[in-house]
Every structure is written in C-alpha cells, then in structure tokens.
Amino acid sequence: MKKQKIVILTGAGMSAESGIKTFRDAGGLWENYPVQQVASIEGYEENPRLVLDFYNARRKELLHTTPNHGHLMVAKLEEDFEVTVVTQNVDNLHERAGSSHVIHLHGELMKATSSRDPNDPACICELTPEHPDIHLGDKAADGSQLRPYIVWFGEAVPKFEDAVREAATADIFIIIGTSMQVYPAAGLISYIRPGTPVYVIDPKAVPVRSASPVHTISKGASEGMDELSKILLTR
C-alpha cells in the first residue's frame, strides 16, 4: 500500500530546543546585531568582513549543536509515511537527525556560494567542520568573493517552487515552530488541496488561514511531535 505523504513546514521554534537563538524573539536582533546589518545584501555590501565573521561564528555554534528530540521524531515519521520537510531554518539539524528529503527555503549555513550569482549551482559548495570559515579573498568558481549560501532579506527564494509542488500533493500538512508571518513561506499552506488536514505545533498561538481543518497542539517541538506521532499512527 502506498504511504501517505506528509509535508512539514518548520521554523525557528523547531531548532530552539537545540539552543539555536531566533532573532524574532530578540526584538529584531540576531546575536545582538540588527538583522538588516547581517541578513541583507545591503549589509553585506557595506561591511562584508562583519557579515562573513558573523556567519563564521554561527557555523561554529552549529557544529557544537545537536538535533533535539523533535528533529528525531520528524525523521522517524519516514518509517510510516513519505515525508518532505520544508524548513525556514538554515541549520542542518533535520538532515543530521535522519530526514532524507529537506527543502531549505532560506539557504544553508554549511554552504557557500558566489557573490555575483548566489543561485548558480556551479558555485555552491559545502563547508566542512574542519574548514567552516569563509574569509575575504576566498573565491567562488566564477571568481567572485565567496559568501554564505543564505537567502537574505530582499532576495528571491529560489526553492519556493519546489516547496509548492510538494505541498500541492500532501495528504497531511504539519507546521512546527513558525509564526506564519514570513513570506513566501507562510503562503505555502494556500497550495495544499482542500480538505487536507493541517496540524500546528507551537506553544504560542499561530494565525493559520486555511479552508482545511486545522488542529493545534500547544506544545514545543519535541512534546508536540510525540503527541502528533501518536495521533498520526492511529488515524
């Protein structure tokens, strides 16, 4: 029998239990920096060394971070369902937990790319735990300065169409740890088929507009995934 397909949209709350801080909970500050200074093309062009150093530090933090129970429970769903994770997070904790199909809407912290054309596949490269830093003078394949493979504010979200295709074929749609305030990610729910059940895991109230039935689990990612897994396996 064909497995049902689950599409899971995850945000910062998914990784919060692993100790990764979110800028939205800090008044627009990310590790004490104004977000526009370290997460916009304008900030990068104004002070590339600051931005490179900022992401070098984030990478070193990530290397000392482990997936939490919520990540592991998301990966475990693959035993019984076809699962696609669409994440707004730039960490690799879903992959490290065992999820095999992850779409990163906002880029990947452990990758670098071209400053000239960030979405050129020929210029996207993996950074390793042994060499996680990007320095001024490091060159991409096209000769431009290497930069973080991160979708900054004001930049296009190239993987969104991939996410739309997955959402449109979902049998179950799950939202974990996202405020549903950041677009285009928040608009993904509008592409699911009418009647597709939606489950929301978040300790805070999350505004979800959908013609489909919405079930809310007011818990963090780990406790919420434990509860939802039991629900899904008895449907």
Q: Tokens in use for 167?
A: 């959402």
The single residue of 71, 94, 104, 106 carrying the catalytic annotation is 106
Residue 216: closest CA among 181, 174, 186: 174
* 76 close to 92: Cβ distance less than 8 angstroms: no
Instruction: Please say whether the beta carbons of 113 and 126 come within 8 A.
Output: no
Write down the residue that tokens 């592991």 correspond to.
72
Asked if residues 63 and 177 have their Cβ atoms less than 8 Å apart, the reply is no
Edge-to-edge strands of the sheet including 172-176?
A: 102-104, 82-87, 5-10, 172-176, 198-201, 214-217
For residue 118, give both structure tokens: 């960030």
Burial class, 62, CB count within 10 angstroms (exposed 0-12 / middle 13-18 / buried 19+) = buried
- Annotated catalytic, 215? no
Catalytic residue positions, numbered: 106
